[in-house]
Amino acid sequence: MVSKVNSAIPYGFEGRLVEVEGDMSRGLPAFNIVGMANKTINEAKDRVRSAIVNSQFSFPDKKVTINLAPAELHKDGTYLDLPIALSILILSGQLIKDDVKGKLFVGELSLDGKLRPVRGIINIIEIAKKAGYKEVYVPINNLSQASLMDGIVVYGVDTLQNLFLALKQQAKLPISNPDDVKHTATRRLNDTILDHIRGQQLAKRAMEIAIAGRHNILISGPPGAGKTLLAKAAANLLPSLTPEEKIDITKIYSIAGLATDEIIEERPFRNPHHTASSISIIGGGAMATPGEISLSHKGILFLDEIPEFPRAVLEALRQPLEDKRVSISRANRKTTYPADFMLVATMNPCPCGYLGDPTHECKCTEIQIQKYQKKLSGPLFDRIDMNITVEKVDNSDLLKPLGDSNDEHTVVKNNITEAIERQKNRYGKEGFYNSSLSSFQVSKKLKMEQAAEELLTNASERLNLSARSYFKTIKVAQTIADLDKSDIILAKHLAEALTYRRR
């Protein structure tokens, strides 16, 4: 007799269907699992046996073989514990094939028969929906994330015994409901707003432009000038997530194991330390897990003191900054994750930080300064839309009371919201910003007055702008025009955009 139970596993940013086949034959009692299973799945033999027995079912005393098809697909994790247990219950006659027909099961079993949550549940629901399944059974703690997907019925299972009763029509299981979901915030690690930052009006203006058009920005200046505060305030200026963005971000965090029963409601703000490895930033490892650039998807990746990061890590950012995704190749798989993040970086002018400061003497040598500044290569700098320099704040202003109003922050956030709405109306696509335009789309969709075109032509020759910098300048100018409620790019908009291209 052969049993078949349908299941699925996450595979990178997607999911793959797996058919759990079981066979029971005469011979000495044995329990074998075949089909490209790693150590975690092989350990399922002990978990499944204990879960079945402790759930008051009988485990067959014959030779049991479980095959995970397709056999050439590398399988990892505890997703297949539940379908393996159900396959054994069918082999032993405690369930019949019709009980599981047309249904898909996934979940990790504990020794007492309870189900534990698994990673990447949205991947599994998506592939089940595409394959035409109408019912999916998942651990009850994964039910919240599963509610993001419509058009498919998802049941939450707490124990193997209760699932058995439900399949026999003797009990009911909870069904995913968007009204019962749990939420978590990923970026509200601080309450910093623009009103908390002394001075730095030029930097605040630049940050407003950067967020409105999702432009990458580099902030340079001496220590204590407020560069990090600006980045933290930027996190609280980000617009709300669209439903599609919620699914994508929650999906990434679930795959990474950072959220199993919550829905990510706010845009991420990731701030990795400068000692982080290339794999932790870009993604990778044995199972090609997402890195910081993917965890920052649709949010901000903040690199504080960017020259302190290893050069190899910084150079690895070049392709994701351009393509908005990252491909990770390993011996047994190739995975592509989205990486549509806004880069906010800060740096000092030199290793000691006081180059050009009239009140502090710079003690760095010329070689040290050049080596420090060259950490940010030309090709990487070319991919940064805006570059600003902040000056040291006068200490005499620091003790002045701030007041309780949030007027500046509120005005800037409203301006950003209106500019984003203009972009949505122009491109007819939510979540598409000026920075997302290709060079072809720039010439097709954006309008510029004659004086602005002449200014750009002269400036590109004098500043020796590359083709990439040329188009980035136009895109920044368009964002400035959107903030100014202008339908075309004027010369003043382009002039301001050019001030953010100097190095």
Same domain, 175 and 192: no
- The pTM of this model reads 0.90
Phi and psi based region of residue 169 (left: phi greater than 0; alpha: psi -120 to 50; beta: remaining): left
User: Could you give the 3-state DSSP secondary structure of residue 42?
Assistant: helix
Same domain, 142 and 23: yes
Same domain, 27 and 168: yes
Same domain, 399 and 492: no
103-118 average pLDDT score: 96
Domain end marker among 407, 442, 466: 407
Q: What share of the chain is helix, strand, coil (3-state, %, to 5)?
A: 40, 20, 40
What confidence category does residue 111 fall into, taking pLDDT thresholds of 50, 70 and 90?
very high
| Distance (Å, whole) CA 44 – CA 179 | 34
CB-based contact 328:281 (threshold 8 Å): no
Same domain, 244 and 297: yes
Q: Is the pLDDT of residue 449 over 90?
A: yes
Same domain, 418 and 285: no
Same domain, 421 and 459: yes
| Distance (Å, whole) CA 490 – CA 481 | 7
CB-based contact 200:225 (threshold 8 Å): yes
Strands 135-139 and 14-25: unpaired
Domain end marker among 407, 442, 475: 407
Residue 418: give the domain boundaries.
Answer: 412-499
CATH of the domain at 118: 3.30.230.10
Same domain, 351 and 441: no
Q: Is the pLDDT of residue 187 over 50?
A: no
| Distance (Å, whole) CA 104 – CA 128 | 7
* Residues whose CB is less than 8 angstroms from the CB of residue 336 and which lie 6 or more positions away in sequence, other chains included: 12, 13, 325, 326, 327, 328
CATH of the domain at 490: 1.10.8
Residues of 243-278 as b/e, b for ≥16 C-beta within 10 angstroms? eebbbbbbbbbbbbebbbbbbbbbbbbbbbeeebeb
Same domain, 130 and 228: no
Same domain, 122 and 210: no
| Distance (Å, whole) CA 475 – CA 207 | 15
| Distance (Å, whole) CA 69 – CA 16 | 11
- Per residue in 58-88, pLDDT (tens digit) is 999 999 999 999 998 988 889 999 999 999 9
- Per residue in 320-365, pLDDT (tens digit) is 999 999 998 877 778 999 999 999 999 999 999 888 888 888 889 9
Burial of 358 (0-12, 13-18, 19+ CB in 10 A): exposed
Same domain, 417 and 317: no
Same domain, 206 and 92: no
Q: How many domains does the chain have?
A: 3
| Per-residue pLDDT at 184 | 56
| Distance (Å, whole) CA 57 – CA 438 | 61
| Per-residue pLDDT at 195 | 83
CATH of the domain at 287: 3.40.50.300
Domain end marker among 407, 424, 453: 407
Q: Which of 225, 376, 397 is nearest to 310 (CA)?
A: 376
| Per-residue pLDDT at 186 | 47
* Torsion of the alpha carbons at 316, 319, 322 and 328, rounded to the nearest 10: -110
Q: By percentage, how much of the chain surpasses pLDDT 70?
A: 94
What confidence category does residue 429 fall into, taking pLDDT thresholds of 50, 70 and 90?
confident
* Residues whose CB is less than 8 angstroms from the CB of residue 457 and which lie 6 or more positions away in sequence, other chains included: none
| Per-residue pLDDT at 353 | 87
- Per residue in 237-296, pLDDT (tens digit) is 999 999 899 999 999 999 998 988 888 989 999 999 999 999 999 998 877 889 999 999
